[in-house]
Amino acid sequence: MINAKALATRALDEDVAHGDLTTSATIPLGVHGQGAVLAKEALVVAGQPLAAAIFAEVCARYGGEVRYTERIADGGAVAEQTVIADVEGDLHCIIVGERVALKLLMKCCGIATNTRRYVDAATETGPAVVDTRKTTPGLRAVEKYAVRCGGGKNHRFALYDGVMIKDNHVAAVGSLTEAVRRARAVAHHLVRVEVEVRTLEELDEALNTPADVVLLDNMDDETLAEAVYRARERRPSVLLEASGNMTPGRIAAIRDLGLDFVSAGGLIHQAVWADLSLKVKPTPRLGL
Amino acid sequence: MINAKALATRALDEDVAHGDLTTSATIPLGVHGQGAVLAKEALVVAGQPLAAAIFAEVCARYGGEVRYTERIADGGAVAEQTVIADVEGDLHCIIVGERVALKLLMKCCGIATNTRRYVDAATETGPAVVDTRKTTPGLRAVEKYAVRCGGGKNHRFALYDGVMIKDNHVAAVGSLTEAVRRARAVAHHLVRVEVEVRTLEELDEALNTPADVVLLDNMDDETLAEAVYRARERRPSVLLEASGNMTPGRIAAIRDLGLDFVSAGGLIHQAVWADLSLKVKPTPRLGL
Amino acid sequence: MINAKALATRALDEDVAHGDLTTSATIPLGVHGQGAVLAKEALVVAGQPLAAAIFAEVCARYGGEVRYTERIADGGAVAEQTVIADVEGDLHCIIVGERVALKLLMKCCGIATNTRRYVDAATETGPAVVDTRKTTPGLRAVEKYAVRCGGGKNHRFALYDGVMIKDNHVAAVGSLTEAVRRARAVAHHLVRVEVEVRTLEELDEALNTPADVVLLDNMDDETLAEAVYRARERRPSVLLEASGNMTPGRIAAIRDLGLDFVSAGGLIHQAVWADLSLKVKPTPRLGL
Amino acid sequence: MINAKALATRALDEDVAHGDLTTSATIPLGVHGQGAVLAKEALVVAGQPLAAAIFAEVCARYGGEVRYTERIADGGAVAEQTVIADVEGDLHCIIVGERVALKLLMKCCGIATNTRRYVDAATETGPAVVDTRKTTPGLRAVEKYAVRCGGGKNHRFALYDGVMIKDNHVAAVGSLTEAVRRARAVAHHLVRVEVEVRTLEELDEALNTPADVVLLDNMDDETLAEAVYRARERRPSVLLEASGNMTPGRIAAIRDLGLDFVSAGGLIHQAVWADLSLKVKPTPRLGL
Amino acid sequence: MINAKALATRALDEDVAHGDLTTSATIPLGVHGQGAVLAKEALVVAGQPLAAAIFAEVCARYGGEVRYTERIADGGAVAEQTVIADVEGDLHCIIVGERVALKLLMKCCGIATNTRRYVDAATETGPAVVDTRKTTPGLRAVEKYAVRCGGGKNHRFALYDGVMIKDNHVAAVGSLTEAVRRARAVAHHLVRVEVEVRTLEELDEALNTPADVVLLDNMDDETLAEAVYRARERRPSVLLEASGNMTPGRIAAIRDLGLDFVSAGGLIHQAVWADLSLKVKPTPRLGL
Amino acid sequence: MINAKALATRALDEDVAHGDLTTSATIPLGVHGQGAVLAKEALVVAGQPLAAAIFAEVCARYGGEVRYTERIADGGAVAEQTVIADVEGDLHCIIVGERVALKLLMKCCGIATNTRRYVDAATETGPAVVDTRKTTPGLRAVEKYAVRCGGGKNHRFALYDGVMIKDNHVAAVGSLTEAVRRARAVAHHLVRVEVEVRTLEELDEALNTPADVVLLDNMDDETLAEAVYRARERRPSVLLEASGNMTPGRIAAIRDLGLDFVSAGGLIHQAVWADLSLKVKPTPRLGL
């Protein structure tokens, strides 16, 4: 569901543009090579369709042919020193695209691996772990895909496919109740309305509105427990989401409170790139 | 030197598209508001022209007017709880753009702050700290700008404005010497040729070529010291760059070896978002 | 919430491209003119921000200045022969943009006027009248805006901001119940799940699922009445939408059944352009 | 001559963007299906290359393969309940593209069917029926193609490929004669100059200019007859076009007056979507 | 009628992209400068709106302000060492845009100056001198504008706004007469049909068709004279155009034969860049 | 290294847009044809991948298939009346693309042929002949490719991949020495710094800076000889480039002075289009 070709075009326009000076000078088109994508640390695999699209776009520009063959599908967890894919074909094209392809893999695997830690902390019986809109501009679809590879779920994609009433909206409208009323009146009937609360008093107010989801933001464990209790008492069907610097440790601590969702921007923005390499070498061409 | 308007267009197409459901429903155009960008931790400021461009683009689309006024210029280091900028104008537009603007600030400040730690480790007399091509696809100009805000320097921008011969090129050509020869013969005379070496033997070979810069990759401290010594003996004018999991600690350890540059992808890809907030509230409009 | 500038760019590239041969030859830039947008039939006004954007874009290309001043705001109903707006400024620019601006007004007013008839048939106490995805490719945001001007409400915008399980999906999955289950498991928690049913048997099945909304498709009046009754008995909170060649007459007939929504593609695709004109004449420039 | 790929891209970006929530959740890639495009009313077929392009673009994005096979070529007239095409291939891709493909068919068939009524009214010996610039912004090439499928002819495509002097131009220049003179002096020698007249007096003036074509606008039958007579007397080679709320009935009434062309915006803007359906079902994959 | 902003965007993306290394390093924003565009040889001025658009776009990107003030309007002929315009404003922006602006001026003045020689050879009473489709890809509107500045006229803009039947078409169809018939039947009634002939026999055939214009291609003077004579005898209203390596000398030789048009690709493709310079210097800022 | 597909798209949008009126009317898709690209004068071949891309893009739009087969590779020198390539396939597509493809060949061959004259004048032992930034906006990559086909070398591509300090920069900064210092401090370490000098005094100053390359601009032969002598004495490793109205004759005169490079904008901007033709005819389809 990611427009991988558009991403590849943009990424290669940025990195290659009118030419890879080094590779053009040193490696002619027509030399055959092969290599392997190696996980240099334990990680959850993600982003391989993007890597494949990078090589496809390089080939579309320069005329070679490159085959990206997955050994481990996206979503799989691998140990250090595992080869996750083979890359074979025109050596020139492999080397031109190598860094961009690898970066996308490193970014995606980093997010997926990071997400997996949060998901493991929640366990199967705890709340679903979801992402937020704190994504890198221009790469949201990529990063949200990586979250799914890591076992997380996505929250709304953007401002246009879900209503989320935050403190800024409440402050502007003057009351949480009125903000929910306005939103429900205007939003189409296939989106739900979520409202953020920070105190039990705000929660009480929210439970009197037709909000479908309540976001319990930045509450300590005790308040959170009380909030879940109150909500379940008064509006059994309301969905409850908790947020606020959620780490795997915090998630483990609150996983049995009865929350439906825990959202964490950190799935994406606290992830660092996973360590992978792509080493290639010229080979006698065997068939192809 | 960043096309901030193009970035703003792309980012808002992604996050707002055909409408911010929540803000459209709750806050009409025409309400005046003001707020402040607050550093919630100590950080180096970066990315403010991008934030300003976001609000400008939102206003161009919906008709309001928003003023982003810097209190601290990009590049400045601030303490926790410092207000770095004021935002004032149409409340609807501020809230629609808030998250995107803030994300760019968080990313840029994160990189600048991270970079500053590396630069401080190098001290004024040590090697210059430079970035690499390990940047986020589509955001290279942004991330390299943030590195400069943090006091770092940029390496080549992309594959097209510098020659860098790596192990993959050498393997394909068959010899480092020949790879340098080919590159120098083809590349235009305003780019330099850099060659990566991993051993002293490779260094010896590189020093016999017309390469302008040698990248000493993944050497231990001792080998690095020997490499600098040999190079200075035989080719005093050659530029020397070291790389390979460079952290502030490692940089501090090798800063007096006589290297010209230390390059670290981690300036960018190991940076996590800095913590900033933008709180706004409706205000009686005063003048504007 | 429509990117009017992008629409204007596309529309003028199509109609003007490298030049309006006639106007270029006959009317130099710099002549001042004024005119009026006249409703030649009774209609509901819509689309004026688009018309204004057309003239703005023409001026951005050729250097003049044109002022589009609404007399009647979008959403207002006017009698035949009402002037709804004044257009004043560079005559060359007005005439180059006239047809494109007028077409957008004719299209939008046509949809708004048509929608109003459906909405009036539903009355205030009847179901809300909503549109569908049966819009003109490339103009969905425009057409949905016109529906709102006519007093209608929008359904989901596209395939990405709401779940709607149709017969094709059920046929592919093998069971309505399973289709709902899959959709609810995957879709993010701020979208609702709607399921289309055509018979009372299907309705019975749907009511046993966690679907939030049921679309009663192509049922006759009697069946519709029974469907509403059953649903309200068993799932009071379920939202009920009816569809299938809904005309104002049909809506009037079923408005008291207790439905929440009636959806009609005909709001948009059965609308014909409203009749408006824009006559301009050169004038002595008065101030500006 | 329509850039069908560009249209498909735009239409799918609008309707699918980052994902069809329902189909993604319910129908995996790899299931084979087949279906038929059914005309639910008598109509003239048009738009099939566009429908095929939609499925091709969906497949290019998600990896499946869909075959659109015409049974009736564009331009053919069919009875109610005729299958005009078969669609077979990846079920996921068929269902994602179904609505957009169908909408284009409904729009094009609607225009072609509507046009055919005008053309039939003109008969073979009457004037040619041509369209106008009153097309939907962004879809002119599509709509003009549908007119041709219906047996109509196209007028100029846009402001840049023909000179048409209207009342607004004459009013600005001060005289019809001078407007024609200026246009002829500037326009290149492969475009003709057409001038719009509303009265016999204006016609007399037009016949004294080098205008190649005269548009007789909004004249009653009697005046129209007199106009044709005068023009043929004085300028046998001049081309004569009539316009002004031309309906099939009106065209039938004036078809023997000797006009060369009758132009009617209503071919396109008074057309309503034709009624077609596309039902698909999963099938055991047979070869492919 | 040139989209100068789009051209400026493209040209600066090509030449500046992520930064002018030299100017960024040496001249800060905020220094005021002024300079003059100097014609270093006698020439016809053309292209100034494009030069102005370049500076405007640079300023839009970097924040400065530059004023381009014409001393000589496009179309004027100037002697060697004439200052044709003043440029004043932010020195950084002037220098970044200088080369691109100057190149456009050099190209346009070169074409205009070259065109003027052809036009002068034709004299006022001879045939009109027109260009062809032999333009630089991507710059047709620019080059055709420069032709008009030089006193030439434009032929059709492209393949879509005029019918021109050439030898390749005739060869494919099998007969010139049939090719004309087909073209006239299909092309809309505001474009004329031109047919290329190379011999008197072909001319005879062409005169029996409804072609509006005959292109006499590559005939010697004598044949050309005979061709004009025959055509005027048999079809006084037909338009006659001659082509085939037309130089000013050749045009002078045939100017009294009675041709309507002489077309020459050489107006554009044989033109070389005119010699202009733009020298700037920092100045004390006076007002602005 | 040219994005030929993007160029083809742009060129065909400009020339064909919504249709080639003539070819659409006269030659149906499905007729097979063949032709040959003929050099009508002695020339150096260049641009064939672009011509092939044009035909490929036409086919992608209209459905045919065309094969462009080189007989002479780019860079080869051919005599008058040599066939350099065969074109075979769908006749409609060949004729639609013919002019655009031919124009690119004519432009590229013109530049390559012109460049070869300069390169021959320099001989193998003289300075390398390089181009400049005086290229046609939007076509720089094409023109620089043609220079390489002609045996020339490229200078920096644009403002972003090399530092070149010119008189305007020196004037703004106040001193050549300071301008070099600033540039070296800011530019990344893989670009060199070049400085332009016009007198021996300026040369003396330049030799005291860390500039890597000195451009000796507009010096007479004697001064040039002295400049080379001084530079070699004082900075043996400095690279020396001469420029200023360099013609083949001038290059021959100075080729033994010891210069490294001679740069000439005239390689590109003084080149005129080479004379080539593409004649096609319908053929019985033989296989394909």
CA D19, CA D23: separation in Å to the nearest integer? 9
Alpha helices in chain B (DSSP H): 4-15, 21-26, 48-62, 91-122, 140-149, 167-173, 176-186, 200-207, 221-234, 248-254, 266-269
CB of D157 less than 8 A from some CB of E? yes
Residue D78 near residue D42 (C-beta atoms within 8 A): yes
CA A184, CA A180: separation in Å to the nearest integer? 6
What is the Cα E128 distance to its own chain's centre?
15
Closest CA to E195 of E239, E134, E233: E239
Q: What tens digit of pLDDT does each residue of E39-49 get?
A: 999 999 999 99
What is the Cα F179 distance to its own chain's centre?
30
Q: What tens digit of pLDDT does each residue of A202-252 get?
A: 999 999 999 999 999 999 999 999 999 999 999 999 999 999 989 999 999
Check residue E62 and give its pLDDT.
85
CA D228, CA D205: separation in Å to the nearest integer? 14
pLDDT band for D288, please (50, 70, 90 cuts).
Answer: very low
Longest Cα–Cα distance of chain D, Å, equals: 73
**Which residues in chain E are classed under CATH 3.90.1170.20?**
4-113+272-286
Check residue B236 and give its pLDDT.
94
CA D210, CA E237: separation in Å to the nearest integer? 11
ipTM of the assembly? 0.92
CB of F141 less than 8 A from some CB of B? no
CB of C282 less than 8 A from some CB of E? no
* Token pair in block for residue D256: 């023997």
CA F258, CA B219: separation in Å to the nearest integer? 41
Q: What angle do CA F179, F180, F182 make, to 5 degrees?
A: 65
E281 is catalytic: no
Check residue D252 and give its pLDDT.
97
Number of Cβ within a 10 Å radius of residue C198? 15
Side chain identity at residue D3, one-letter code: N
Closest CA to E243 of E235, E253, E251, E252: E251
Q: Closest chain F residue to D139 measured between Cα atoms?
A: F18
Average pLDDT, chain D: 95
CA F130, CA F116: separation in Å to the nearest integer? 11
The residue ranges of chain C whose pLDDT is under 50 are: 286-288
Closest CA to E96 of E63, E72, E71: E63
Chains in touch with B (3+ beta-carbon pairs under 8 Å) read A, C, E, F
C-alpha distances in angstroms, F106 versus A268, C52, F43, F110, F144?
A: 52, 45, 10, 6, 15
For strand D77-78 and strand D43-44, is the pairing parallel, antiparallel, or unpaired?
A: antiparallel
C-alpha distances in angstroms, F273 versus A106, F14, F16?
A: 49, 20, 22
Enumerate residues 6+ apart whose C-beta is below 8 A from B255.
B121, B122, B123, B125, B126, B127
Which of chain A's residues have a Cβ under 8 Å away from the Cβ of F1? Answer: 18-19, 24, 62
Instruction: For residue C201, list its beta bridge partners.
Output: none
Closest chain A C-alpha to B254 CA, distance in angstroms: 24
Enumerate residues 6+ apart whose C-beta is below 8 A from B257.
B221, B224, B225, B228, B242
Q: What tens digit of pLDDT does each residue of E184-236 get?
A: 999 999 999 999 999 999 999 999 999 999 999 999 999 999 999 999 999 99
Average pLDDT, chain E: 95
In b/e form, how buried is each residue of E167-197, taking b as 16+ CB within 10 angstroms? bbbbbbbeebbebbbbbbebbbbbbbbbbbb
CA D227, CA D221: separation in Å to the nearest integer? 10
Region A100-120 average pLDDT: 98
Check residue D3 and give its pLDDT.
82
Number of Cβ within a 10 Å radius of residue C117? 18
Q: What angle do CA E54, E60, E61 make, to 5 degrees?
A: 95
Check residue A2 and give its pLDDT.
81
Q: What tens digit of pLDDT does each residue of F66-81 get?
A: 999 999 999 999 999 9
Region A180-189 average pLDDT: 96
* Token pair in block for residue D261: 């062309």
Question: What is the 8-class DSSP label of residue B234?
Answer: H
CA D285, CA D66: separation in Å to the nearest integer? 12
Residue of higher predicted confidence among F253 and B18: F253
Residue A112 phi/psi, 5-degree rounding, is -65, -40
Enumerate residues 6+ apart whose C-beta is below 8 A from E216.
E197, E203, E224, E227, E228, E240, E241, E242, E243, E259
Longest Cα–Cα distance of chain C, Å, equals: 73
The residue ranges of chain B whose pLDDT is under 70 are: 1, 284-288
Question: Please, is E236 exposed, middle or buried when counting C-beta atoms within 10 Å of its C-beta (0-12, 13-18, 19+)?
Answer: exposed
Say if the Cβ atoms of B134 and A103 lie within 8 Å.
yes
Of chain D, the end-to-end C-alpha distance in Å amounts to 30
pLDDT band for E282, please (50, 70, 90 cuts).
Answer: confident
Check residue A286 and give its pLDDT.
46
* Token pair in block for residue E134: 């032999």
Check residue A284 and give its pLDDT.
67
Q: Inform me whether the pLDDT recorded for E79 exceeds 90.
A: yes
Number of Cβ within a 10 Å radius of residue D236? 7
CA B111, CA C264: separation in Å to the nearest integer? 51
Side chain identity at residue A2, one-letter code: I
- The DSSP code sequence of B162-197 is -EEE-HHHHHHHS-HHHHHHHHHHHS-TTB-EEEEE
pLDDT > 70 fraction of chain F, expressed in percent and rounded = 98
Q: At how many degrees (to 10) do helices A4-15 and A91-122 cross? A: 120
Check residue F288 and give its pLDDT.
38
Q: What tens digit of pLDDT does each residue of E232-269 get?
A: 999 999 999 999 989 999 999 999 999 999 999 999 99
Check residue E288 and give its pLDDT.
38
Catalytic residue among E70, E120, E212, E217: E217
* Token pair in block for residue C128: 């809300």
For strand E43-44 and strand E77-78, is the pairing parallel, antiparallel, or unpaired?
A: antiparallel
Check residue D284 and give its pLDDT.
67
CA B188, CA B202: separation in Å to the nearest integer? 25
Give the total residue count for chain A.
288
Check residue C50 and give its pLDDT.
96
Closest chain F C-alpha to A50 CA, distance in angstroms: 21
Q: Closest chain A residue to B102 measured between Cα atoms?
A: A134
CB of E197 less than 8 A from some CB of F? no
C166 is catalytic: yes
Closest chain E C-alpha to F145 CA, distance in angstroms: 15
Q: Closest chain B residue to C144 measured between Cα atoms?
A: B18
In b/e form, how buried is each residue of D55-88, taking b as 16+ CB within 10 angstroms? bbbbbbbbebebebebebebebbbeeebebbebb
**Which residues in chain B are classed under CATH 3.20.20.70?**
119-269
The three state secondary structure string of chain E is: CCCHHHHHHHHHHHHCCCCCHHHHHHCCCCCEEEEEEEECCCEECCCHHHHHHHHHHHHHHHCCCEEEEECCCCCCEECCCEEEEEEEEEHHHHHHHHHHHHHHHHHHHHHHHHHHHHHHHHCCCCCEEECCCCCCCCCHHHHHHHHHHCCCECCCCCCCCCEEECHHHHHHHCCHHHHHHHHHHHCCCCECEEEEECCHHHHHHHHCCCCCEEEEECCCHHHHHHHHHHHHHHCCCCEEEEECCCCHHHHHHHCCCCCCEEECCHHHHCCCCCCEEEEEEECCCCCC
Which of chain C's residues have a Cβ under 8 Å away from the Cβ of B60? Answer: 5
Q: Which CATH superfamily is domain F4-113+272-286 in?
A: Quinolinate phosphoribosyl transferase, N-terminal domain (3.90.1170.20)
Residue D45 near residue D74 (C-beta atoms within 8 A): yes
Region D116-144 average pLDDT: 97
CB of F179 less than 8 A from some CB of E? yes
Q: What tens digit of pLDDT does each residue of C5-52 get?
A: 889 999 999 999 989 999 999 999 999 999 999 999 999 999 999 999
Lowest mean pLDDT among C203-207, D167-171, D199-203: D167-171
Q: What tens digit of pLDDT does each residue of E118-176 get?
A: 999 999 999 999 999 999 999 999 999 999 999 999 999 999 999 999 999 999 999 99
CA D119, CA D36: separation in Å to the nearest integer? 29
* Token pair in block for residue E270: 């044989």
Residue D239 near residue D220 (C-beta atoms within 8 A): no
Q: What tens digit of pLDDT does each residue of A75-89 get?
A: 999 999 999 999 999
CATH code of the domain made up of C119-269: 3.20.20.70
Enumerate residues 6+ apart whose C-beta is below 8 A from C284.
C32
CB of A71 less than 8 A from some CB of C? no
Question: What is the 8-class DSSP label of residue F153?
Answer: B
Check residue D1 and give its pLDDT.
63
Closest chain E C-alpha to F100 CA, distance in angstroms: 7
Number of Cβ within a 10 Å radius of residue C118? 26
Region F187-192 average pLDDT: 96
What is the Cα gyration radius of chain E? 23
Q: What tens digit of pLDDT does each residue of F12-65 get?
A: 999 999 899 999 999 999 999 999 999 999 999 999 999 999 999 999 888 889
CB of F1 less than 8 A from some CB of A? yes
* Token pair in block for residue F88: 């075979």
For strand C213-217 and strand C239-243, is the pairing parallel, antiparallel, or unpaired?
A: parallel
Catalytic residue among B61, B67, B71, B99: B99
Q: Inform me whether the pLDDT recorded for D13 exceeds 50.
A: yes
C-alpha distances in angstroms, C228 versus A47, C119, C211?
A: 47, 21, 15
Question: Please, is E6 exposed, middle or buried when counting C-beta atoms within 10 Å of its C-beta (0-12, 13-18, 19+)?
Answer: middle
Check residue F1 and give its pLDDT.
63
